[in-house]
Every structure is written in structure tokens, then in C-alpha cells.
């Protein structure tokens, strides 16, 4: 998957007009600065209230120069949300997919989701709150990526249930419940809070395990026990 900044540069229309930039500052550097500033503004004020003139001032650009990077405000939001989800899926594939055992894979998913969503809480908030600002076509693209992520957890839950490591009635509904619990952490997590990120991960591993009745890693699967 392409990093979000690179994807923004490739997706947004380009212009042959050359802007005045400080020496040593590339277009990619400018795009990264715009993206960072935009995330901060959308998180604080909401997408509809984000003023492009203020955003240009945040990154020391004239408004006309900003339009070379953001020719269409709504499309910028769409690409921002899509690129963030592509990063999420790429990181998930790299960190969790190599694990074969469903129990270990579930705990790895819990760790990954909690760490990623607390580290990127502003983007998570925007992704949940600003779907309303997308066009119907943009909305469909973003939701399709979200469903891929949800399906990944559903697959883990189904595999573990089939192997007898836990019992669930509906993998899809269970995945929604687990994701709601884990994603909720990003709403209140603070790096300087009472619990560290690592402790929160361990706590939520236990919560998920208890919710679906995960057996200890060394215990025999329920299916094996039932057939003795």
C-alpha cells in the first residue's frame, strides 16, 4: 500500500505552475505539512468549519498556492480518509497476518488495533465523524475499506470458533462488539493518563478473552474435549 502522503500527491490533480517554496522543501514535505495541519483543524473544528485560508496560513502558503495541493476540499477529505484506511490495512497485514494460531492472532489484533487507534486518535475521530461530509460515491469507497478491516476480525473469530478455542453465535455481531470496545479507547486515552498504552492493551486482551471465552493457549480446544 502507498503511504497516505504519497497517495495524496498521486491522487490530487497536479499543475505545471511552480510555487515558491523555501530552499530544500519538497512538494512531498509541503503535502505532509498540509495533511498534518488539516487533521488538527478538522479534529478541532470539524470538516465543514475548516477554512482553507486558515489552513494555508498554518503551513505558510498563500491561498492560491494551497489550491495547487487541494483543488477540491471534499475530495481532499475523501482521499485523507481512504489513505488512512489503506495505511491501517497495510500495517494490519504486516503485523498480524503472519500469525497462524487463531488465539495468538486474536491477541495480536487487539494489540494492533488498540495501539494504532490510540496513536492516531485524531484520524480515527475524523474517520468516524466526517463520513457525513462525503459524497455518496466517496462514502461507498471509504465504507468498502472499513468492511475489509471488519471482515479481517470476523475471519479470526470464525477460525477460532471452528477450532474450538471459543464459542460465539455470530462472528459479524461479535466483531462489531469487539471493535466498538477497542475503538472507544481512543476517545478517552491520554498519553499522560493513569494507564500506559501497554497496560491498556493487556487489559483489553483480557476483556476480549473473557467476552468470548478464550481458552488458555496451552489448553486443549473445546472441540477436542467434547469428543473425548
Task: Please check whether residue 35 is in contact with residue 8, taking contact to mean a CB–CB distance below 8 angstroms.
Answer: yes
- Which residues have a Cβ under 8 Å from the Cβ of 220 and sit 6 or more positions away? none
pLDDT tens across 75-111, in order?
999 999 999 999 999 999 999 999 999 999 999 999 9
Burial (0-12, 13-18, 19+ Cβ within 10 Å), 10 = exposed
Task: Please check whether residue 80 is in contact with residue 34, taking contact to mean a CB–CB distance below 8 angstroms.
Answer: no
Mean pLDDT of the region 130-159? 97
Residue 154, pLDDT score:
98
Between CA 181 and CA 224 the distance in angstroms is 31
DSSP for residue 218: T
DSSP for residue 46: -
Mean pLDDT of the region 130-143? 96
Instruction: Judge whether residue 17 has pLDDT over 50.
Output: no
Q: For the chain, how are helix, strand and coil distributed in percent, rounded to 5?
A: 70, 0, 30
Q: What is the pTM of this model?
A: 0.80
Of 125, 30, 115, 29, nearest to 84 by C-alpha is 125
Task: Please check whether residue 117 is in contact with residue 185, taking contact to mean a CB–CB distance below 8 angstroms.
Answer: yes
Amino acid at each position: 500500500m502507498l503511504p497516505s502522503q504519497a497517495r495524496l500527491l498521486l491522487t490530487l490533480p497536479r499543475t505545471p505552475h511552480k510555487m515558491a517554496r523555501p530552499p530544500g522543501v519538497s512538494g512531498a514535505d509541503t503535502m505532509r505539512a498540509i495533511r498534518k495541519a488539516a487533521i488538527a483543524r478538522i479534529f478541532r473544528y470539524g470538516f465543514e468549519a475548516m477554512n482553507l485560508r486558515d489552513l494555508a496560513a498554518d503551513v505558510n502558503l498563500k491561498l492560491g498556492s494551497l489550491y495547487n495541493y487541494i483543488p477540491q476540499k471534499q475530495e481532499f477529505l475523501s482521499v485523507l480518509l481512504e489513505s488512512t484506511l489503506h495505511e491501517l490495512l497495510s500495517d494490519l497485514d504486516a503485523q498480524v497476518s503472519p500469525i497462524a494460531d487463531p488465539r495468538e492472532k486474536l491477541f495480536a489484533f487487539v494489540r494492533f488495533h488498540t495501539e494504532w487507534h490510540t496513536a492516531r486518535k485524531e484520524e480515527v475521530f475524523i474517520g468516524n465523524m466526517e463520513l457525513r461530509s462525503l459524497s455518496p460515491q466517496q462514502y461507498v469507497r471509504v465504507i468498502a475499506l472499513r468492511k475489509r478491516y471488519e471482515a479481517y476480525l470476523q475471519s479470526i473469530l470464525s477460525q477460532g470458533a471452528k477450532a474450538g478455542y471459543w464459542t460465539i453465535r455470530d462472528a459479524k455481531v461479535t466483531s462489531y462488539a469487539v471493535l466498538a470496545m477497542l475503538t472507544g479507547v481512543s476517545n478517552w486515552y491520554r498519553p499522560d493518563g493513569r494507564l500506559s498504552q501497554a497496560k491498556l492493551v493487556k487489559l483489553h486482551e483480557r476483556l476480549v478473552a473473557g467476552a468470548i471465552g478464550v481458552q488458555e493457549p496451552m489448553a486443549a480446544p473445546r472441540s477436542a474435549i467434547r469428543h473425548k
